[in-house]
Amino acid sequence: MSSVSVTSYRALSRVDMAALRTGMDSLIDAALSAGGRIDAVGGYARPVATSTAIALFGLPSVPPADVAAMTRVVFQYTFLDIPSRRAVVRRGEQGGALLRRWLGEEIDRRAAAGVPGVDLMGQLMQDGQLDREGVRRALGGMLVGAIDTTATAVAKILKVMGRDRALQDQAARAAHDGDNDALSGWCWEALRRWPQTSLLSRVAAADTVLAGLKIPGGARLVLLTEAAMNDPGAFPDPGRSLPDRQPGSYLHFGGGLHPCGGRSVNAFQIPSLVGGLLRRGPFTAGRIRWAGPFPDVLPITWEGGR
């Protein structure tokens, strides 16, 4: 793991997650206070994840809609549509320039005031291992992956639960009982049926043998995580949804030396977003409208229009 990753994860472990969660819970309550229908992506998961990211990364003065738009174009450019289309490149570069400016200005402002703060930006500044440019890069790299990933995972979980009423009812019971472990288990099982990430890639660092297959050093590997999460060797009876599987066996957030840097946030944010909707009562999930590779709109309607 690189020293930037080690420093970032150390700083992340010092952030007050309970405070972050309290802020997120009140946003969830506010978003769900209106009528019997909601857009679970554009009117719920995406704005809540954006506010969590703003609080975590430390960009209080940037309008949330701008942060959400920026992360989307930079994420698409960086990870999903590798410079194939001119419009994706243009938007990605514009977004990257904004991200650089917003983070740079906030870091400079805090440094000048001598008040680094207690969010991730502040923890990285206090840690002292990275200079201002290093702090900016570390934050930018993490922030870009924080919003549409969360909204996509929530949308997919809701669609799976919308199609499987028994699964939805069991998850709803866990949500009503305040059983967070079981609620998370149902969420990870629903996501196993339609993962947010279905493959990962790696480069072999050295010659090795995997399950009898010789892999030369330098080989590019595509790891089919969706298939792996349906392997009976690791997920006994893989066709059944079982909420008490070992959390460590899922590959939703990658694994090995480079797992997702947002795992500690994902662990509560995704189940909390799904749980908020489940507690309102049985729902129907409509059609997802996509914006390129990202779910953009997902109508959720509660029975009886509650």
Residues in contact with ligand HEM by CB under 6 A are 5, 141-142, 145-146, 149-150, 153, 196-197, 200, 252-256, 258-262, 265-266
d(CA 52, CA 265): 9
Least Cα distance to 299 among 158, 107, 195, 200 occurs for 158
**Closer CB to ligand HEM, residue 165 or residue 290?**
290
CB 110, min distance to ligand HEM, A = 20
Tokens representing residue 13 in the block: 């472990």
Buried b (16+ CB within 10 A) or exposed e, 165-174: eebbebbbeb
The strand pairing partners of 215, in sequence order, are: 208
Q: State which residue, 50 or 241, has the beta carbon closest to ligand HEM.
A: 50
Tell me the closest approach of the beta carbon of residue 293 to ligand HEM, in angstroms. 13
Quick one: 115 or 199, whose CB is closer to ligand HEM? Answer: 199
Minimum distance from residue 51 beta carbon to ligand HEM (Å)? 12
Q: How far is the CB of 217 from ligand HEM (least distance, A)?
A: 19
CB environment 101-134: b (16+ within 10 A), e (fewer): ebbeebbeebeeeeebeebbbbbbbebeebeeee
Cβ proximity to ligand HEM, 115 vs 219, nearer residue? 219
Rank residues 243 and 281 by Cβ distance to ligand HEM and give the closer one. Answer: 243
Separation between Cα atoms, residue 151 and residue 270, nearest integer Å: 8
Distance CA 287, CA 305 (A): 18
- Min separation Cβ 261 and ligand HEM, Å: 3
